[in-house]
Structure 1
Amino acid sequence: MAWVLKYDWRPVEFWRRLRWSDECSIERGKGAPSSGYIVGGVNLPLLNTPCALANCASTPAGEALEIWAIIQTKAFKGKPQMFWAAFGFGIRSDLVIMEGDQDAKRRGITAKVYLEVLAEHLPTILEHDIIFMQDNAPIHKAHKVTGFFFRRWG
């Protein structure tokens, strides 16, 4: 919020140039032990509550998620699943399921996995003169990731 307040004086054209991305980890059965959801007609069996990323990616552009589009289902406990998505003014990426790194000790999401997602999906939302925003998650600050951005966009 501090960043937004710092730049709130900027013209609309500045804000239209921004693209944001984020990850969302969802653990089946956590928080609502007996239920999950199907969101916007898309079966997301790992969801136990609607996620902002799922809402963004599963509804047609410019349309709000209708309450009738959420169907409660029975959920079972399992391992967490990570999702990634990006959005900006009038544009959004697909909702991407991030698979764990099979070469990593705990088989979690690593810089290698994150770079694969960025390489495949960033070109769909980035064009000339776009500002790409991320939060300060440790994976975003990994040397491999920062190097990726410097090599591509200097």
Structure 2
Amino acid sequence: MVPPHNPSSKQLNASRRELSEATRWMIIGARQCGVTVRHISEVFGVPKSTVHNTWTRFNSIGSVQPQRVGRPRKTTERDDRCLYLSTQWDPSLSYKELRQQFGLNISVSTIKRRLNKFGIHKYIKAKRPLLTPFQARVRLLWCIHHRDWTVAHWRRVIWSDECSVERQSNPLVEWVLRSAKERWLRECVKGVAKSGTVKKMIWGCFAGGLKGTCGGMRVDMGESMTAEVYIRTLDFYLLDFVQELRERGIDPIFMQDNARVHTARITKDWLLEKNVEILEGWPPYSPYLNPIEYVWVQLKTLYHKHYQHLADDTRGPEVLRPLMEDALIHCWELIPERLFEALVEGMPRRIEAVIRARGWYTKY
């Protein structure tokens, strides 16, 4: 039976498209019922030549599929599915290993095309801190415990962390337009300093859309990073921000990760003495659950954009570190507050992503 006529189908006559096998069989059925080529062309929105060729092919070879030119496929649909399933079992397999595993006499390019059909491409493994099954479970349980927290809950949290900034290390990937022969031209190479570069350790915090303080760690000359240094830094930067939040009617919760200087007994005692509530049980090896990590990326980008001249400064660390601190504080002030608000609003998505991954790796 011929389907009802669709007036808009004439609009499709000008566009060439591959007919499905079902449509071709419907055309054959209509012809067998005595429907004219012209009427079928109008109903299905295809050229009359297509209807005629489909009918002729059916009468000639008993098939509705057009005969293809070129070399026949070397893999079947089943082979393609097996290739795909192998990548699901072991994503680290190389194309050559896949070819050897199945004994297929096909090229690597063919394997790539077959897998591309399933949306499978070769990527460099993403990098994240190494997790053990126990640590993944701790992450999962912590996220489940905080699953019901609303954005209003997360706005109470003071997100904090330290960040080390190198004078000459630009985190951005730099692209150039070049030919294959120009790969090693000076202007086409990004030089990376391996040692001897000047670094500055800073500390920062924020809560909700409120930008907290950012500044250098309170380290004396020749002093290493200790719990005493960390406490001096918190005393210098944190307490004023906590007081500001309380004056705004916000009861803050202080977040810090599991670094030794953070979990030291004297640090906990100091926070308790200052009546600073702590976000308990922060999961191990989860820096990207802390939204301030994305603030550091923005900070470093602004620093290397506006203070590139410091990378070429040949003066010593005792001169450069104060200059770097001033530059980083300025870049912190340039970060728009809407970024901080957006990061906090994304916390429920971060929690759900970890739960879906059963505590394992996510983009957070």
TM-score range (shorter-chain normalised) is 0.5 to 0.7
The residue identity in structure 2 corresponding to 1:23 is E
* 5+ residue gaps, structure 1: 29-45, 52-71
Q: 1:7 to 1:140 in 2, by over 3 A?
A: same
2:169 is the alignment partner of 1:48: yes
Matches within 5 A, 1:1-154: 2=140, 3-26=142-165, 28=166, 46=167, 48-50=169-171, 77-102=196-221, 107-126=223-242, 127-128=245-246, 129-153=251-275
Which protein has greater RCO, CA pairs closer than 8 Å, 6+ apart? Answer: 1
TM-score of the aligned structures, taking structure 1 as reference length = 0.60
Alpha-carbon distance between aligned partners in 2 of 1:90 and 1:124, rounded to the nearest angstrom: 17
> Number of residue pairs matched?
113
- Once the two structures are TM-superposed, the CA of residue 4 in structure 1 deviates from its matched residue by 4.1
Q: Report Cα offsets for 1:79-136 as digits up to 9, x if no partner.
A: 432111111201122321125344xxx6212222211111121123323311111000
State the secondary structure of the residue aligned to 1:94.
strand
The residue identity in structure 2 corresponding to 1:77 is G
- Give every structure 1 segment of 4 or more consecutive aligned residues whose post-TM-superposition deviation is greater than 6 Å: none
Q: 1:143 to 1:84 in 2, by over 3 A?
A: same
Task: Identify the structure with the greater strand proportion.
Answer: 1
Across the aligned residues of Structure 1 and Structure 2, the Cα RMSD in angstroms comes to: 2.9
Alpha-carbon distance between aligned partners in 2 of 1:7 and 1:88, rounded to the nearest angstrom: 17
Alpha-carbon distance between aligned partners in 1 of 2:215 and 2:171, rounded to the nearest angstrom: 16
- Once the two structures are TM-superposed, the CA of residue 47 in structure 1 deviates from its matched residue by 5.2
> Which region of structure 1 is more displaced relative to structure 2, 91-100 or 114-123?
91-100
Alpha-carbon distance between aligned partners in 2 of 1:83 and 1:47, rounded to the nearest angstrom: 16
The residue identity in structure 2 corresponding to 1:95 is C
TM-score of the aligned structures, taking structure 2 as reference length = 0.28
Alpha-carbon distance between aligned partners in 1 of 2:171 and 2:208, rounded to the nearest angstrom: 22
State the secondary structure of the residue aligned to 2:204.
strand
Task: Identify the structure with the greater helix proportion.
Answer: 2
| Identical positions, percent | 31
